[in-house]
Every structure is written in C-alpha cells, then in structure tokens.
Structure 1
C-alpha cells in the first residue's frame, strides 16, 4: 500500500506558536497535522488532522502514528516546536527512519549542565556553574562560586524555578522553592528535575535572545531580540522587542553561532539567550527550537519572513539558505509584552474602548475570579499585547513595559488578598 505523507508539528497548538502552521504551508504541500489529547472533543481546526495523543508522550504518539499507518498515512517529518517535545520528536524520527540530528544533541540542549560543559570545551563564554543534587552540595557550590548566584532546574525552561541567591538563608529557602516548582509542573512537562544548576549571577538588565538558522554546517543569525524581565529577585520574561539596537554587533552574532556549533545543532532554528555586562557577553543557554512568547511573530512582522519556514524546511531536508535573504532589512520595530495585574483575586475585567496607536492586538486570557500570582514565570500572565512602531530604536526602549503596565491597570480590578495554599 502506498502511504500518504504528512508533516507532524509538535507544539504548534501552543499559544503564540500558531504561525508555525503558516510557515509549514510555505515550504510544503503535505498536510499539516498536530497531536493533542482529547483531539475529537477539543478539535483544533487550524490543522488538517489531530492525532489523539499527548505531544510529550512518545509511546502514545507511536501508537497514534501506527494507527494512522493502517489508514494509509505516514509522517514525512516530525518537528518539535518547544522544549517539551524535543526529545520525543528526536526519538520518533530516529525510530521511523526520518530526518533527525545526531544522538546527544538534544540531550545537550535539554540538560543545562551538559550544555555548559560543551560551552566550556568550545570557548563559549558562560557564567561559572555547578550541578547539585542536595542542600549540602548547594552550600559547597556557593562557597566556590560566591554570591549572588542563580539556581534553576537543570532540565526545565520558561524561567520556571529560577531564583536569586543572595545569602545562605535565602539560598536554602529558594532551593526549596525551586524544588516545589518541579513538584508542581514536573509531570505536566515530562521533566526529571532531580538536579539543579547553580551559576554565578550576571547582575545586569541587559539581556537578549538571538534566533539562529542552522542547517548542516551553515549558520545564520535571523534576528536579535531585546528581552525584558521582572526586577530582581524574580526573572520572569515580560516582553520582547525586535530588532535590537545591537543587531549589527558582529561579535555578538559570532558568539551565538559558536554556541550552536558547540552543541552540534544541525537542523532548524536555535534560540540563544545571552546576558551583557560591561560590554562582555555571557551565553546563558540555547534551545534547539524556535523562540517562544511570540518572538517568531514579531520577527515575521518586521523582516517579512516567517522563521518557522526555516525550521520546518530543515527537518524536511530542504536547505533553508536557498530562500533566506543574504541581508534581512527591518521595516520597523515590533514587540510583544505581557499583561500583569496586581496580585490578588481579579474582580473585574474592562477592555478599553480605545487603545494606544502602537497596539496591534490585545488578548486577555484571565477570567474574573482568577487569582493573580506574582510574576515568576510564563504561567503568571493575564494577557498579551502586540506592538509596532514604524521606526527603529537606537537604545533599549521602555515603551513595551510602559504600555503593558498602563493597559494592565486599566483592564484589571483586583482584590488584594493572601492566597491560602493549604
């Protein structure tokens, strides 16, 4: 029986990654499928078909794929779009004889300790770090590294479980908090969370991310993005802006590309996060997948190319450098910022009748009666705004934060109460 082919996107149904479908459509005529639990009940109609499986569950996906093989369908490529689906897609592509990266690449991109050792072996600048498994190792590591430091789960993402350590007392307290984050979210995202990274804190508000196109031995920086975080001691991402005023910094681009080379990333987009202090660059981590939080959308808005097209093409063994322009010229500046109410119970939500001219879209996903947590990671958001200016900024503008705070204050009415966690 001749099998019909399809492209399986894992994670494209996640909020702010929907444009992956458009990117895939631009590079292939194969039907675009996804996977989700309860696909028949909560059918996602953007896709041509929905496999009835958890996109993070290798066994469940294999069963669903084999069931569809009996119906005459077989994947041409299985493409991961977030951290949680990287290992699953890699294993399935390997077992099914599809295109995949060398063994060990995905492990190095999901295990922050392995990643940082690769950086050190290849002279990629990264903060001093230790891998720890218990409180005793934590305290020994801090004696060696010194304060301030950062603690984070070795295989999580999205700023989850990331805390600042300023002294011995809050080191112990925040280590326990980080472990609680794993207990809360570990099963949902299929992470181990038994070990933690302790690294020297680079105290600076200057942080960027760089999107790098990778295919075999070729690499190209597509965009440099300014990143906005909550103030210390929390590090939740609250906004992104493209293009950065640092976009023409050759040293910065070289470091990002060398970080990808050190991990042997040979397919798709890589998301490189870098801290900057005193004109020195420090690679924090690299994800072997497109950047999240709608970064791909704002890159597309200003550069007129859908970055997901690059990612999908490489998994289909199509050279993306054949359609990537030599030079990407921005037509303006775009940003995405997240709405955040004051902590407490949301008692009312009022969308303004008029919005600032820079606002391209606004979406509130919080509901009346929700409890708004303090911002610690991507989970603690109430909505999002997309912004656009028909000009470039020669500095790191505060406008995305000003506008998101202004609208958040207008939209949310909150009763400030202490949440009972018992």
Structure 2
C-alpha cells in the first residue's frame, strides 16, 4: 500500500523542526512548499515546490491545486505559527481537513479571548487597546500588575509584565512594535492586549484532536527567565507529573477546544496554574515548539508529528507510548551581553553529566546575538537536552551543561 501523500507548508528552522520531517518522512510522501530550494530537507522529501511568497494565499492555492491535479494529496500540515492560516486555506481549497475560521480564531489572541469568554472558560481578564492612553485605562480597570501582549505574534515576542503605570507607558511601544521581529504576521490598528497577570507556574499541554475528541499527549512545565519578559528558557516533560491526574486541568483543555470549535488537529495550549485554578493563556493551532514534542518522544511518549500527519489526512491517529517512560528536559542558553558577535560555541565534555544526551549550538559564527529584551528566542546560542530517572535529575544535569558551555565572542 502506497504511503499517504502529505503537503507540508515550510519546514521551519532546522534546529527546532528537523525531527518532525525525519519522523513524518518515514511514513508519508512529503511534498514541501518553501521559498527557496531545499538543502538539509531533501533527505526527507518526496518532492518540493518553490514559491515567491508564502503570504500570497491566492498564489499558494493556485500552485497547490495545480500540484493536486497531477497527484492527489491526502492532507496539508504546517507547524510554523506564521503560516498556519495559509495552510488551512490551502487545505480547504483542496477539500482536505482544516478549517481556516477556527485556525484564525486561535491565531488572533483577541478572538481567542472572546470565544473563551463567551463559553465561560477560565482565563485572565483581557482588554484590547490601541495606544498608551487606552492601555493605561485598561490596566487601571484590571489592576496591577498586568501583562501587555501583541494580538497576533508568536514566541513570546512583545509580551511583558508591567507593575505600574510608569511601566505601562514604558512598554506600550515595545509591545506595539514587536511585529518588526516577524513582519509577515498580521498587524492591527488595535494591536495590544492588556491582561490580568495570572500568577503561578506556567505549563503547556499538547493535545491530539480528532473529530472533536481531545486527547492530551504531552504536559510540559515551562522555565521562564529574563523578567519582566517571558522568555522560555526550557521545558520539563515528566510522565509522572501529578498534573496528569488533575481532572480540572483536563476539563479546562477540553472546554477550551470546544469553545474555539477546534475539532481536528494537534494543539499547544498554554496554561497558568493559579490559586483560583488553572487558566488558559492561549491555544496554538499547531504542534508545540521549543522541541517539546521531541522531548516527549525521547522519554518514550507518543510522536505528535505522526499524530498531526494522521489527523491532517483525516485518519484516526495512533498514540503509542513505550512501556517505560522517563522524564526529559531542555534548556536554552543566551549570551551574557548585547550585540555579541559569535565566534565559536562548544561544551566542555568533562563538565557534561551522563544525563545530557544531546547538545549543540543555535548560532553560527559571525551571527550577532543578544539576551532579552534586545533579542528573545532569536537570541539563543545553544541548547542541551537531558534524560533522567527524575525531573530534578534532568534540571541538575542542565545546570551542569550551562556551566560547561563555552561561548567565544569575537
């Protein structure tokens, strides 16, 4: 029986997304749509098509319907937040699973808040504003501290905590101009959400959704740094986490998907565990980033990439897990100073404990990197992954990896 043919819109950054193509390419004939000829991706592909602009939806539909006229596609998949709406529109044009209206509802955080609010799903209070004056009024109404976030960005770009009126004034421009970090994303006249600060640990839940049935597959605890910004410094995936047995959390995730009308796909839901109970921060209509799904596989959990591909093809996914599962964790590292011109990034092997199973650079020689707020996730220079018997073993191993990291600056 021939492998299903899957249309994938853009590969994403190699360091963060190659594991998906590697896994999916074994079970599917992958045809990649991208803006320049593939290099490292070719190993995993059945074919590819180069387009001028992924933002040109009409051209994408024209090109992909032409390809489908030659050989039928079984599904369309995209894991890059920037292009998930375009991918859904292509899927709809080809008569394949994917609802652009629902994806847009998740993509636009204001629309997400409205849908959750209409269905009484627990979340922080939120106000949509367009300038400093209305931001101050919203913050005073909500009560300090508040969080400012852009309406349609990704990767925590532009998200910041403001403790008082002076900080709201200081951070409005930072949030409002965050689109410069990703100019392909939508811009709005009223672009800022002023939100209640949900105090408590932050987690993410990656779920497989098929025909309305929501199955949580991976729970990750976030490690945040560089306050008042919300830079993701790492994640811990522990199959023994007590959150797996928390019915309130499961119900919240299910209720959020129902409120958004999300029935098919893989999602990455971010949640704060507050004293009042868990609250939804956002629901991303794609596979989680930060290598979280890769951690899940390394620890013996289900392959979210394969599950996403199956659902994209209208097939019930198989969520297989190993008999023995172990905690896994990842840590990201930044340079100490702004405008650091990278020369070389290495880890001292003598300082790496055995729990560190993978490590490497995230910057090339000659690149200029800075810690937040000048640069956020795009300022990372290295990563390390640990697998251990306990989550704390993984954290300790990644602390050691940080001490073993050597960053040479020109």
User: Equivalences for 1:301-316 in 2 at 5 Å?
Assistant: 301-316=298-313
- Structure 1: 5+ residue stretches without partners: 416-422
- Equivalent residue number for residue 155 of structure 1: 152
TM-score by length of 2: 0.89
CA deviation vs aligned residue, 1:97-141 (integer Å, no higher than 9, x gap)? 22223x521121011111112112222110111011122211111
In structure 2, C-alpha distance between the alignment counterparts of 1:330 and 1:146, rounded to whole Å: 47
- Equivalent residue number for residue 212 of structure 1: 207
- Equivalent residue number for residue 335 of structure 2: 341
1:286 aligns with 2:308: no
- Equivalent residue number for residue 92 of structure 2: 94
SS at match of 2:73: strand
CA contact (8 A) 1:43 1:50 kept: no
TM-score by length of 1: 0.86
- Equivalent residue number for residue 272 of structure 1: 269
1:229 aligns with 2:224: yes
Q: Which has the higher helix share?
A: 2
- Equivalent residue number for residue 319 of structure 2: 324
CA deviation vs aligned residue, 1:4-36 (integer Å, no higher than 9, x gap)? 9731112434332223234434654xx211122
In structure 2, C-alpha distance between the alignment counterparts of 1:171 and 1:301, rounded to whole Å: 42
RMSD of aligned Cα (Å): 2.6
What displacement does 1:193 show? 4.7
In structure 2, C-alpha distance between the alignment counterparts of 1:50 and 1:357, rounded to whole Å: 40
What displacement does 1:403 show? 3.6
SS at match of 1:399: helix
Structure 2 CA distance for partners of 1:40 and 1:261, relative to 1, 3 Å:
closer
SS at match of 1:100: coil
In structure 2, C-alpha distance between the alignment counterparts of 1:65 and 1:132, rounded to whole Å: 38
Structure 2 CA distance for partners of 1:358 and 1:57, relative to 1, 3 Å:
farther
- Equivalent residue number for residue 51 of structure 1: 49
CA contact (8 A) 1:7 1:33 kept: yes
User: Equivalences for 1:94-173 in 2 at 5 Å?
Assistant: 94-101=92-99, 104-173=101-170
SS at match of 1:284: strand
Structure 2 CA distance for partners of 1:119 and 1:211, relative to 1, 3 Å:
same
In structure 2, C-alpha distance between the alignment counterparts of 1:82 and 1:347, rounded to whole Å: 29
- Structure 2: 5+ residue stretches without partners: none
CA deviation vs aligned residue, 1:185-237 (integer Å, no higher than 9, x gap)? 242x3322541111011233x11000111111211111211111114211111
In structure 1, C-alpha distance between the alignment counterparts of 2:398 and 2:349, rounded to whole Å: 20
In structure 2, C-alpha distance between the alignment counterparts of 1:166 and 1:85, rounded to whole Å: 34
